[in-house]
Amino acid sequence: MENDRQKEQAQLGSQRTLTVSSLYRQLGAHRKSECVVPSVRLNGKWLAALGFVPGQKIRVIAIGSIITIAPVLL
């Protein structure tokens, strides 16, 4: 029952509010360069309801400040 509801919501479109967090990066051997970069993590059953599965390749498309993810079709 819940799965049917999730599929219906996915077909109608869904919106999520997420928080951009920070990620500390060390680049190069022996920490030659360090920086903090913005990071966004997507996870949850709602991704499965949209048809995404673990291990699947996705394409990330950025146009201006809008980010779209789509499955890579082989």
* Three-point CA angle 15, 38, 53, nearest 5°: 50
Closest C-alpha to 45, from 36, 54, 56: 54
Instruction: Report how far Cα 18 is from the mean position of its chain's Cα atoms.
Output: 10
Greatest extent of the chain over all pairs of C-alpha atoms, in Å: 53
Q: Is residue 26 within a helix (H) or strand (E), and if so which, with residue range?
A: strand 21-27
Torsion angles phi and psi, residue 6, rounded to 5: -65, -40
Q: Is the pTM of this model over 0.85?
A: no
User: What is the per-residue pLDDT across 17-38, written as a single tens digit (0 to 9) for each?
Assistant: 899 999 998 877 776 788 899 9
User: What is the per-residue pLDDT across 41-74, written as a single tens digit (0 to 9) for each?
Assistant: 999 988 998 899 999 999 999 999 999 999 998 8
